């Protein structure tokens, strides 16, 4: 029977896989090498253990992609959930960037969760509204990786599933992983004087934690992009907007200048934070632009 392995590292011309608790390096040869078979951490592949070569990549159940106008890069495959890691400060909380990651999660079939690190920087102040709004639409874990405060609920959420971590540099992903599994001793990055993080992870890595949890740490992403995705996916990213949108006069309302827009009316009544509408409008404008560019390139 042909063995099946899970890709845990990708390198030029091949990959490293784990199969039945054994780790081995495999090469890409023949048509796979010539055609540049795209592999990502989490891919399941069949292989020849004697020749140490990749035979076939199995169909992907889910995927986290970095989307570009005319191409895509799969960062991780066959994951169960995407944990978007952000921070309250240093670097500052960026709802627009978070929403792009949530869109990528829904586009790839992953369940999104949000981890907001550096709770200690709030110094006892209540959670900002820009963070609390996410508590109404997806699981949110507020914590301090440095002190360990807030880690137990996250550990339980990670138990028994495969999770890919994504987020901007400097939010503390490596510090978080070290807190979850101190023996890892991953390098952590300081935040520069410009308040942007220093990259400390150069490639996606597969990490097995206690409780049968698997975490894939990704390179610090400055952007995930939108790509020409289905704009209906925005209902998943903005369920609070979608709740009011069902009462708009026009089914394809962009909640901009259209008459009888229930979403704009909700913001005027104070039932929907204006920042959520602004974020929605920016993201749907990006999607529209990507779809136009994609159509013109054909």
pLDDT tens digits along 84-101: 999 999 999 999 999 999
Instruction: Answer whether 4-57 and 64-217 agree in fold.
Output: no
67 band by pLDDT with thresholds 50, 70 and 90: low
Distance, CA of 264 to CA of 262 (rounded, Å) = 6
Tokens of 116: 């907001």
Task: Tell me the mean pLDDT in the region 153-178.
Answer: 92
Instruction: State the Cα–Cα distance between residues 265 and 263, nearest whole angstrom.
Output: 5
Specify the pLDDT at position 259: 95
Start-to-end Cα distance in the chain: 42
| Amino acid 144: pLDDT | 96
Among 83, 74, 67, residue whose Cα is nearest residue 167: 83
- Per residue in 115-163, pLDDT (tens digit) is 999 999 999 899 999 999 999 999 999 999 999 999 999 999 999 999 9
Instruction: Classify 231-297 by CATH class.
Output: mainly alpha
Cα 102 to Cα 105: distance, rounded to the nearest angstrom: 5
Q: Other CB atoms closer than 10 Å to residue 51's CB: what's the count?
A: 11
Confidence of residue 49 (pLDDT cuts 50, 70, 90): very high
Per the DSSP assignment, residues forming a β-bridge with 80 are: none
- Please check whether residue 102 is in contact with residue 115, taking contact to mean a CB–CB distance below 8 angstroms: no
- Mean pLDDT of the residues in the chain: 86
pLDDT at position 193 is 32
Sign of CA dihedral 228, 222, 76, 107: negative
Give the per-residue pLDDT at 168.
83
Determine how many CB atoms are found less than 10 A away from the CB of residue 271: 12
User: What architecture is the 4-57 domain classified under in CATH?
Assistant: Beta Barrel (2.40)
Q: Confirm if 191 and 88 have CB atoms less than 8 A apart.
A: no
pLDDT of residue 219: 66
Per-residue pLDDT tens for 188-236? 433 333 334 433 444 688 888 989 999 998 865 556 766 667 888 999 9
Cis upstream peptide for 33 (omega within 30°): no
In percent, how much of the chain has pLDDT > 90? 62
Cα separation, 82 vs 105, whole angstroms: 6
User: Is the domain covering 64-217 a CATH 3.40.50.300 domain?
Assistant: yes
DSSP for 125-137, written as a single string: PPPPHHHHGGGGT
* The pLDDT of residue 52 is above 50: yes
List phi, psi (to 5°) of 140.
Answer: -125, 135
Give domain limits for the chain: 4-57, 64-217, 231-297
DSSP 3-state assignment of 102?
A: helix
Predicted confidence band at 273 (pLDDT cuts at 50, 70, 90)? very high
Report in angstroms the alpha-carbon separations of 92 from 116, 121, 143: 11, 11, 15
């Amino acid at each position: 029977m042909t063995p099946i392995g899970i890709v845990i590292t990708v390198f030029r011309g091949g990959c490293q896989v784990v199969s039945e608790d054994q780790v081995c390096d495999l090469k890409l040869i023949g048509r796979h090498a010539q055609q540049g078979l795209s592999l990502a951490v989490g891919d399941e592949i069949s292989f020849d253990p004697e020749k140490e070569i990749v035979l076939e990549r199995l169909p992907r159940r889910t995927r986290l992609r970095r989307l570009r106008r005319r191409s895509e890069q799969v960062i991780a495959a066959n994951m169960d959930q995407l944990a978007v890691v952000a921070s309250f400060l240093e670097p500052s909380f960026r709802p627009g960037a978070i929403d792009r990651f949530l869109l990528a999660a829904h586009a790839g079939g992953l369940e999104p969760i949000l981890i907001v690190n550096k709770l200690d920087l709030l110094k006892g102040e209540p959670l900002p509204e820009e963070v609390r709004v996410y508590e109404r639409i997806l699981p949110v874990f507020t914590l301090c990786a440095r002190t360990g405060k807030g880690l137990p609920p996250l550990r339980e959420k990670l138990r028994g599933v495969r999770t890919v971590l994504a987020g901007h540099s400097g939010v503390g992903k490596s510090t978080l992983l070290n807190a979850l599994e101190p023996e890892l001793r991953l390098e952590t990055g300081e935040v520069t004087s410009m308040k942007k993080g220093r990259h400390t992870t150069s490639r996606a890595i597969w990490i097995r934690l206690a409780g049968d949890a698997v975490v894939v740490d990704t390179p610090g992403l400055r952007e995930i992009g939108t790509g020409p995705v289905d704009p209906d996916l925005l209902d998943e990213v903005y369920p609070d907007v979608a709740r009011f949108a069902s009462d708009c006069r026009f089914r394809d309302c962009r909640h901009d200048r259209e008459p009888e827009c229930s979403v704009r009316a909700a913001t005027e009544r104070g039932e929907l934070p204006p920042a959520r509408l602004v974020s929605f409008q920016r993201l749907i404008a990006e999607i529209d632009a990507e779809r136009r560019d994609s159509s013109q390139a054909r």
